[in-house]
Each structure stands twice: as C-alpha cells, then as structure tokens.
Amino acid sequence: MKRIDIASKTITLLTALSVVYAALESNILFIAPIITLAIPYTFMKEKGLEHYSQNKRILNNLFLFNILSFMIVSMISNHMNQTVFDIVVNMVVSYAYFKVIWAIENKQIKVYKNPELLCEKLEDKIQVLEAMKEKLENDMESIDNEKAKTSLETKLMALNQKILQDKSQLEIIKMKIETQKDDVK
C-alpha cells in the first residue's frame, strides 16, 4: 500500500493559501502561517517512513498551538482585526483538511489490516456490479440502435471482467482468512 505523506500535502496547502492571501491582499502578514507552522514543521519532522505517525502528531500539535496562540493573543490584546481573522481561518481550513485526510487514511488502514472487513466490502461491491450487469443486459434487450448496442456490449464485457477480477480477489482474501483461522487453532 503506497503511503502518501498527508503532512506534506497539508503544509503545501497551507503555504499555497498563505501566498495567495499575501498576493491578493498585498500584505506580508499573511505569510505568518508559513513562518509559524511550515518552517518549524520542516525542522521538527523526522526522516523516514518509520516516523510517519510521529510526524502527523507533530503537525497536529503545531496546528493546535498556532491556532490557539493567535486566538489567545487576539483576545488578550483586544485587537482582532480582519488580517488576524483571515490568518486564523487559513490555519483552521488547512487543519480541517489535515484532519479529514487523516481520518480517511486511518479508515483505509483499518480496512486493509482487517481482511474480514475487506471481504465484506468486496462482497458488497460484487453485488453492486452484478446488479449493474443485470441492468445493462436488460437495457441491451430493449435497444434497437446498433451503435448503442455495441457500446453497451463493450461496457458489459468490461463489467464482467471487473466482476471476475473482484471474485478472484475475494477468493484469495477468503483463503487468507481461513489460513489465519487455522493458524489460531
């Protein structure tokens, strides 16, 4: 399973938003998230895939610290202006993006590590594909246009191939589950 570094994607988004804000508003203050978040993360992160989860925690903590710092300083000084608000919104949007991607990644990892859950998802997918196949077959019978019929035949062949591929993958996963159950006994 290829691992995409979500922390780097988030830092790229934050940097892009900050630069766009700074260019549109002609205000250098919008580069503050780069200085307070992107640069420190670059120096704090660990190299290598074995530190992947640690890097995500570092970025999470940096986001929380920076968002809270900007908000607390604004409240204490009673100096919340549009620029500070826009900077905080920029960081909150990037943080929300980071958390959503992190949640999706955790869900994918959970499915990948649990073959029974993967098996259930694959069975559901096969059922949906077979329902689509039946619908295409019914549509083919009612169509008189030869060009449309040829197009549907091509789609049906591709769908059959996908169903066969998923069924063979399902069998492999079921064999893996059986092997794991036998190993436990």
Residues 119-141: b if buried by 16+ CB within 10 A, e if exposed: beebeeebeebeeebeeeeeeee
Tell whether 1 is covered by a domain. Answer: no
Residue that is last in its domain, among 56, 90, 112: 112
Q: Are residues 74 and 137 in the same domain?
A: no
Q: Where does residue 86 fall: left (phi above 0), alpha (psi -120 to 50 degrees), or beta otherwise?
A: alpha
Give the Cα separation of 144 and 140 in Å (integer).
8
**Average pLDDT, whole number, for the chain?**
86
Q: How far apart are CA 22 and CA 170, in angstroms?
A: 51
Residue scoring higher pLDDT (184 or 60): 60
Q: What digits encode the pLDDT tens for the residues 11-20?
A: 999 999 999 9
Domain that holds residue 180: 115-184
